[in-house]
């Protein structure tokens, strides 16, 4: 898709966030001068747009300090600074989406709670990589329901990727092992392992994921090269709590924020990167194969405010 096509799609996806977050902020800066009330109103509108209390307070503190030091008394000037500040928070991380490995397949593990969009995202990534003429193998390590494997099979077909799948209820670690094994044997470029967000056994989800991660490393030292945490943007601050739990157990290397279309909680993107220090690598703006795009902070802020 062209850069313009994507920008239009991103902009459309952020309609609701724009109405909530930016509408509120624009009202804050509509006043004649810079004063205490203005900063208080700014903090409130950031928090209500799911930027998060801590991050919102930090942003407002910085803005106050800059207004004072630089002697800014025009709301319009501060508004521009605010946009820069938001982009700076999100841009603090370098992101590589090359996903290549010199000695064996590049292995990705996709984790997250139920319904966050893991399977869809694994399918969309497979599609992107397969389009670059890479050999991709998807692993259906969500063995919780037969339907989960079925859903991934449909995505594999759509993407032109291979699939490794066991019986319903099989050990997720065994599926992950076999997928990496197939990746090595078949000289695949990329291996993507989809996992469950909930388990049928009494095993704790985080323990199970740690085990899957260990099993992968056992078959291929250095793997998984990416552990991607999929978060549903519509869950706002709850999603941030979830992310904390996952990052305590797993070495999460990147976040994928899904369902940015149709939510007013897009402000969460700012809080995630400021508070977790983990980059958002991709964003989901719809259910189609093309609706997964690299996260670009500048573009995100532009799409939000323009
Ligand atoms: N609107 C929208 N829906 C999405 C997006 N990503 C996933 N979904 C939908 O969210 C639902 C759950 O996705 P799924 O991949 O099954 O989640 P999983 O349980 O984490 O594997 C499905 O209906 C997907 O089509 C997105 O970026 N935007
Ligand atoms: Mg799934």
Report pLDDT digits (tens) over 184-199.
999 999 999 999 998 7
CB-based burial of residue 216 (10 Å sphere; 0-12 exposed, 13-18 middle, 19+ buried)? buried
pTM of the model: 0.90
Q: What is the pLDDT of residue 224?
A: 98
- Which atom from ligand 1 is nearest to the alpha carbon of 291? 27
Which residues of the chain register pLDDT less than 50?
A: none
pLDDT for res 198: 85
The verdict on the CB of residue 115 being under 6 Å from ligand 1 is yes
pLDDT at residue number 2:
60
CA of 287 to the centre of ligand 1 (A): 7
60 φ, ψ (degrees, to nearest 5): -65, -40
pLDDT of residue 3: 60
Residue 1 has what pLDDT?
53
Which amino acid residue places its CA nearest to atom 25 of ligand 1?
Answer: 287
pLDDT for 50: 82
| Ligand 1 close to Cβ of residue 286 (< 6 A) | yes
Question: What is the C-alpha to C-alpha distance for residues 29 and 19, in angstroms, rounded to an integer?
Answer: 15
Instruction: Answer left, alpha or beta for residue 104, where phi above 0 means left and psi between -120 and 50 means alpha.
Output: left
Intra-chain end-to-end CA distance of the chain, in Å? 21
Q: How far apart are CA 32 and CA 24, in angstroms?
A: 16
Ligand 1 contact via 114 beta carbon (within 6 Å): yes
Q: Tell me which long-range contacts 125-132 makes (C-beta under 8 A, separation of at least 24).
A: 125/192, 125/282, 125/292, 126/155, 126/156, 126/159, 126/161, 126/190, 126/192, 127/155, 127/158, 127/159, 127/160, 127/161, 127/289, 128/292, 129/99, 129/161, 129/189, 129/190, 130/159, 130/160, 130/161
């Amino acid at each position: 898709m062209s850069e313009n096509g994507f920008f239009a799609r991103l902009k459309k996806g952020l309609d609701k966030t724009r109405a909530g977050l930016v509408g509120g902020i624009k009202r804050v800066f509509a006043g004649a001068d810079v004063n205490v009330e203005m900063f208080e109103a700014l903090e409130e509108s950031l928090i209500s747009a799911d930027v998060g209390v801590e991050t919102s307070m930090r942003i407002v503190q910085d803005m106050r300090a800059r207004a004072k030091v630089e002697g800014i008394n025009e709301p319009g000037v501060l508004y521009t600074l605010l946009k820069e500040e938001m982009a700076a928070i999100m841009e603090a991380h370098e992101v590589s989406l090359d996903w290549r490995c010199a000695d064996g397949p590049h292995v990705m593990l996709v984790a997250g709670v139920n319904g966050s969009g893991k399977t869809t995202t694994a399918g969309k990534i497979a599609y992107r990589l397969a389009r670059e003429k890479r050999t991709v193998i998807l692993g259906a390590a969500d063995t919780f329901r037969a339907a989960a494997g079925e859903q991934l099979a449909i995505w594999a077909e759509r993407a032109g990727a291979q699939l490794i799948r066991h019986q319903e209820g099989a050990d997720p670690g065994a599926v992950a092992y076999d997928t990496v094994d197939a990746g090595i044997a078949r000289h695949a470029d990329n291996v993507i392992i989809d996992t469950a967000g909930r388990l049928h056994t009494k095993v704790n989800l985080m323990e199970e994921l740690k085990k899957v991660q260990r099993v992968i490393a056992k078959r291929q030292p250095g793997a998984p090269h990416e552990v991607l945490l999929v978060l549903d943007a519509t869950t706002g601050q709850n999603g941030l709590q979830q992310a904390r739990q996952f990052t305590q157990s797993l070495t999460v290397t990147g976040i994928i924020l899904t369902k940015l279309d149709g939510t007013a909680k897009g402000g969460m993107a700012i809080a995630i990167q400021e508070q977790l220090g983990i980059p958002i690598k991709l964003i989901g703006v719809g259910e189609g194969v093309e609706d997964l795009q690299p996260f670009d902070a500048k573009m995100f802020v532009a799409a939000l405010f323009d």
